[in-house]
Amino acid sequence: MKNFLACTVAFGVFAFSGCGEKKDGKASYALVTTGVASFWDICKKGGEDAGKELDVDVEVLMPSSGDDQKLKLEDLLAKGVDGIAVAAIDPINQAGLFDEVAEDSILITMDTDAPTTKRQVYVGMDNYDAGWMCGELVKEAIPGGGEVILFIGRLEQDNAKRRRQGVIDCLLGREKDASRYDAPGQSQIGAKYTVLATLTDQFDRAKGKANVEDMLTKHEGVDAMVGLFAYNPPLILEALKQAGRIGEVKVIGFDEDEVTLQGIKNDSVYGTVVQDPYEYGKRSIEILDALSKGNTSVIPENKFVDIPARQIRKDNVDVFWSDLNSKLGK
Amino acid sequence: MKKIKGILITLIMIYVATAILGENFLGGYNQGKLLERTGLYGLLAIGVAFVIITGGIDLSIGSVVCLVGCGVPWLVMRQGWSPGSAVAIAMVVALCVGLWHGFLITKLKLQPFVVTLCSLLIYRGATRGLAEDQSQGFGGEHEAFRQWGTEAIEVTDKFGIPYPFVILIVVAIIAWVFLNKTIWGRYLFALGNNEEAARLSGINTDRMVILSYVICSMLAALGGLLFILNGNSAQPSDFGNFYELYAIAAAVLGGCSLRGGEGTIVGVVIGTAVMQLLKNMINLVDWLKSHMEFLIVGIVLLVAVIADEMIKQRVRKLK
C-alpha cells in the first residue's frame, strides 16, 4: 500500500511538472470547432498553415457536442495554451464558460460569435448576410417566384438561425433585420415567394433525406429546395434523383461539399454560398499571436473581422474548386 | 396472430389517420418510400429481436451501421477495392463482432449491456480513426452497386417495391422459419424464458447466445450497407447514431419482451413500419410540428406497450 501511494505521488508530481510549460518553448494556440465536418478540415488547414508561418504550435479540437466543447476548453486551460479561438455552439448558455476561459487565456470567437461574452474579437462572416446571398441565388434560379422549402441540420445554434432568417427575409422582400425570427413550423408567405417550411434533421442523414422525400410528397409543386448545412444539398440531390425530379426542382446550397460543386458543374444545383473556413483558421491564429504579443491593433472597433461569404455559380465554380483543392493540398 | 393484434391495430389506425389528415400520403411515391425505410430499419430490428428473445441486448447496432456504412465506401473509393470484396470483408468483420460479443457474454460472463455499450464506443471510435473523420460516399460512381439500396421493382409508373424492402421480406421469412420451425428457434425461446432450465435440459445455451449476437451484428452490417447505398453520404461521427434505440423500440413495439422468451418476426416488421409511419405522418400532417417527433413517437410507444401488457394480463386472467 505504501509503495502504491509513493508511486501515485511520484506519478502525480511527474505529470504535473509538465503543466504550463510548452514542450519546445513555442507559443501554443488552439482552434475549437463546433463539430466534425469537412468544413472544419479546411479551417484546420488554414490554422496549421498560419502556425507554420508564425512558427507557433497549433492544435485543432473538434468536439462532438456542446458538453464535449466545454470539456475540450477546460482541458486546454489545464494545459495552459496561450490563446483559443472557439466556434460557439450555444453563445447564450455558454457565456459563463467563455468568460471563464477569457480570464485565464486569450479568447476570440470564429465562425459563430458569442457577442455577450468577454471574447476579444469575432472572426467570421455575418450568417444573416450569407443567408441573404443564398436568398438572392434562389431568386435567380426561379425569377418568376414560387414555393421554397429549407433544410437545415438544426436551428438551436445562432449561425443556423441567422442564416435561415437571411434567406427568408431576402425572399419575402423585407427590410434587413437580423434580430427577426420566424417560427420554423409556419409558412412565410410573400408577394412572389413562399417559404413553405424549414425541416431539421439533427445531423441524422437518413432523416435528412427522408425529410426531402416527405416534402416532395406533401408539396408536389415545390419550385426550389435550399440546403443550408453542408450535407443538406447532397441529400436533396440524392432524393430528387431517386424521385426522377432532378432539374424540375431547383436546388440551392450552402458550403462546398464536393457533390454540391459537382452539381453546379452539371446543372443539377443552381448555386451555393461558400464561407472561407481556411481564412477563419488562418486569421484566427494570426490574431491570437498578435494579441499574445500585446498588439491590440488587430482588433477593429466593432470587434468583427469580416471574412465575407461568396456566391458560387456555374461561371466561377471551376476556379473556386481548384483553389480549394490547392489549399487542401489535393 | 393474437400476439401481433395490438401492433397491427396501431399500424392500421395511424395509417388511416395519416391518409385522412396528410397530403398525398397515399401517392405511389410516398408508399414506396415508406416500404424502403421499413426495409432499412427493419433489418436492424429483426437482428436485435434475436438478441432480445434470448434475454440479451445489443447497444452497438448503430456503431456497426457506422462501421460498415463508412467502411465500405472507404474501402471502395479510397483504397480501390472492388465493391464485392468490400462487402465480403464487411460481413466477415460483422461475423467476428458477433462472435466477440457472444464470447465475452458467455465465456467471461460479462453483462450484455456493458459489453455492447463498450462496443458502441469502440466501433464508432475505430471508424472515425479509420476514415479520419471524413465524410464517406460513392460520389457519382458505382451506380450498379448502389442499385441494391436505391432501385425498386416497378409496379406502376409511380410505385415500386424497393429492393431494401424485398431484402427485408426475404430475411424476415428466413428468420420466421428459423424461429418457429426449427429446433434452434425453440432453444432460443427456451433460453430466454429460463436459461438455467434450458441448460439443465441439455441445450448448449452458450452456443445459442453467441448465435443470436452473430445474427444481430450481421443484420446490422447488412442494414448499414443498404443505408449507405441508399443515402450515399455518411459522416463517421454521427452516421447510425441512436439506430440501436430505434431498432429496440421497434422490436418492443412488435411484442418482444426485454425479459426474454417472447417475440415475433411479423410483429417486429410491423413495429418498424409503425415507427417509420409516425415520422412520415409528422412531416405530412400540417399541424404536427417536427420538433414534436420524439414526443409523439415516445407517447405512441408507451401507449402501445401499456395496451399490450393489459391485453396480456386479461388473457392470463381468462385462462
Q: What is the pLDDT of residues A159-217, one digit of tens each?
A: 899 999 999 999 999 999 989 999 887 889 999 999 999 999 988 999 999 999 999 99
The predicted-structure confidence for B263-297, as pLDDT tens digits, reads as follows 999 999 999 999 999 999 998 988 887 778 889 88
What number does CATH give the domain A127-274?
Answer: 3.40.50.2300
Q: Touching check for A65 and chain B: CB below 8 Å?
A: no
Q: What is the pLDDT of residue A3?
A: 58
| SS3 readout for B155-214 | CCCCCEEEHHHHHHHHHHHHHHHHHHHCHHHHHHHHHHHCHHHHHHCCCCHHHHHHHHHH
Q: Touching check for A47 and chain B: CB below 8 Å?
A: no
Q: Which residues of chain A have pLDDT under 50?
A: 7, 9-21
Interface A:B, Cβ pairs < 8 A:
96
In terms of Cβ atoms closer than 10 Å to its own Cβ (0-12, 13-18, 19+), residue A304 is: middle
CA distance B281 to B268: 20
In terms of Cβ atoms closer than 10 Å to its own Cβ (0-12, 13-18, 19+), residue B281 is: buried
Q: Touching check for A182 and chain B: CB below 8 Å?
A: no
Half-sphere exposure of B140 (CA within 13 A, CB side): 11
CB-based contact B231 A235, cutoff 8 Å: yes
Q: Touching check for A290 and chain B: CB below 8 Å?
A: no
CA distance B174 to B50: 13
Query: Which residues does chain A have within 8 Å of residue B150's beta carbon, measured at their own beta carbons?
Result: 242
C-alpha cell at B189: 425461446
Half-sphere exposure of B224 (CA within 13 A, CB side): 40
CB-based contact A258 B139, cutoff 8 Å: yes
Q: What is the pLDDT of residue A16?
A: 44
The answer to pTM > 0.90 is no
Collapsing DSSP to helix, strand or coil, B70 comes out as: helix
For residue A321, give the H/E element and its range. Answer: helix A317-327
**Average pLDDT score, chain B:** 93
Distance from CA of B316 to the nearest CA of A (A): 40
Q: What is the pLDDT of residue B2?
A: 66
C-alpha cell at B143: 451506380
Distance from CA of B297 to the nearest CA of A (A): 14
Query: Which residues does chain B have within 8 Å of residue A204's beta carbon, measured at their own beta carbons?
Result: 238, 241-242
Of all residues in chain B, the one with the smallest CA distance to A35 is B237
Query: Which residues does chain A have within 8 Å of residue B238's beta carbon, measured at their own beta carbons?
Result: 203-205
Query: Which residues does chain B have within 8 Å of residue A36's beta carbon, measured at their own beta carbons?
Result: 128, 133, 235-237
The residue among A213, A246, A269, A321 with the most chain B CBs within 10 A of its CB, best to mutate, is A213
**CATH top-level class of A22-125+277-299:** alpha beta
**Quick check: ipTM above 0.95?**
no
Instruction: Report the candidate in B234, B220, B291, B190 with the shortest Cα–Cα distance to residue B73.
Output: B234
CA distance A224 to A199: 14
Query: Which residues does chain B have within 8 Å of residue A257's beta carbon, measured at their own beta carbons?
Result: 135
Distance from CA of A294 to the nearest CA of B (A): 36
Q: Touching check for A128 and chain B: CB below 8 Å?
A: no
- A287, A178 contact by CB (below 8 A): no
Facing B283 at nearest CB: one of A64, A218, A259:
A218
C-alpha cell at B1: 396472430
Of all residues in chain B, the one with the smallest CA distance to A261 is B139
CA distance B186 to B54: 11
Q: Touching check for A257 and chain B: CB below 8 Å?
A: yes
Amino acid at B217: S
Of all residues in chain A, the one with the smallest CA distance to B242 is A204
Domain boundaries along the sequence of chain A: 22-125+277-299, 127-274
Secondary structure (DSSP) of A237-264: HHHHHHHT-BTTBEEEEES--HHHHHHH
Query: Which residues does chain B have within 8 Å of residue A64's beta carbon, measured at their own beta carbons?
Result: 237
Domains with residue ranges and CATH for chain B: 2-318 (1.10.3470)
Q: Provide the sign of the torsion angle of the four alpha carbons B297, B303, B307, B308, taken in this order.
A: positive
Query: Which residues does chain A have within 8 Å of residue B227's beta carbon, measured at their own beta carbons?
Result: 206
Query: Which residues does chain A have within 8 Å of residue B27's beta carbon, measured at their own beta carbons?
Result: 217
Task: List, in order, residues 6 or more apart from B77 with CB less than 8 Å away.
Answer: B136, B137, B138, B139, B141
- A127-274 matches A22-125+277-299 in CATH topology: yes
Collapsing DSSP to helix, strand or coil, A120 comes out as: coil
CA A183 to chain centre: 22
Q: What is the pLDDT along chain B (319 residues), one digit of tens a residue?
A: 667 888 898 899 999 999 999 888 999 999 999 999 999 999 999 999 999 999 999 999 999 999 999 999 999 999 999 999 999 999 999 999 999 999 999 999 999 999 999 999 999 999 999 998 888 999 888 999 999 999 999 998 889 999 999 999 999 999 999 999 999 999 999 999 999 999 999 999 999 999 999 999 999 999 999 999 999 989 898 899 999 999 999 999 888 988 889 999 999 999 999 999 999 999 898 888 777 888 988 998 888 778 777 877 887 787 7
Residue in the structure block whose three cell numbers are 424521385: A243
